[in-house]
Amino acid sequence: MQSESQTPVSNKTLWAGRIISALPVLLLLFSGVSKFIKPPMVVQGFAHFGIPESLLVVLGILDIACTVVYVIPRTSVLGAILVTGYLGGATATNLRVGDSCIIPVALGVLVWLGLYLRDLRLHALIPLRS
Q: What is the pLDDT of residues 14-40, one digit of tens each?
A: 999 999 999 999 999 999 999 999 999
Domain-located, residue 128: no
Domain-located, residue 3: no
Q: What is the mean pLDDT of the chain?
A: 91
Domain-located, residue 1: no
Give the distance between the most distant pair of CA atoms in the chain: 54
Domain around 114:
11-123
Which of 68, 75, 73, 77 is CA-nearest to residue 24? Answer: 68
Which own/partner contact pairs does 38-46 have at CB distance under 8 Å and 24+ positions apart? none
Q: What predicted TM-score, i.e. pTM, was given to this entire model?
A: 0.88
- The CA distance from 7 to 30, in Å, is 35
Number of domains in the chain: 1
Residue 43: in which H helix or E strand, if any? helix 40-49
DSSP conformational letter for 51: -
